[in-house]
Amino acid sequence: MATDKRVFTLRLQESNFEKIKYIANINKRSIAMQIEYLIEQHIEEYEEINGSIPIGDKNL
């Protein structure tokens, strides 16, 4: 299955990993999909407060 998602390594504290794994299991998601969901939720909250985040801004 082809995907356009970028691959990268994420290091987590063991306790955070286990907690995300627990939540992912309850939500019937993979750990990766749970992390992606949490990131998307945070981005939405940030943009509601601060406005849209420009994509491709090389000044950052």
Q: pLDDT category, 60, cuts 50, 70, 90?
A: low
Over 90: is that where the pLDDT of 59 sits? no
Give the pLDDT confidence score for residue 2 in this predicted structure.
Answer: 77
The dihedral built from the CA positions of residue 27, 28, 31 and 33, taken in this order, carries a sign that is: negative
pTM here is 0.82
**Are 27 and 34 within 8 A, CB to CB?**
yes
pLDDT tens per residue across span 2-58: 789 999 999 999 999 999 999 999 999 999 999 999 999 999 999 999 999 999 866
| Structure confidence at residue 32 (pLDDT) | 96
Which ranges of the chain would DSSP assign to H, the alpha helix? 14-26, 31-50
Structural domain boundaries in the chain: 14-48
Nearby residues of 29 by Cβ (< 8 Å), 6 or more positions away: 37
